[in-house]
Structure 1
């Protein structure tokens, strides 16, 4: 699965696009895009945590 697929699956395509645009507008300077980096990271991590906190399997006896 490539990055675009992962971002789309996580529901964070808009945050990722905003980050890419910021990077393009600021000569790929991460320091100038920290707000966008944080928004994308928070979205992506939130989606990943949601997957991990789904229904749990019953413990084996």
Structure 2
């Protein structure tokens, strides 16, 4: 699995994950959403034919 930081600000991080498993990212998303300082955590498959996943996390 290769993780690249696409964009980083004071309250937001956008990651690109190559070769990862979306199931594990859903678990990470659930843990992040249980944190009171997390406003948003989302995971998408960039395209169904590629193994490129994107994750976005916004904190307060």
TM-score, normalised on structure 1? 0.27
Which protein has the larger Cα radius of gyration, Structure 1 or Structure 2? 1
Comparing both structures, which one devotes a greater share of its residues to strand?
A: 2
TM-score, normalised on structure 2? 0.28
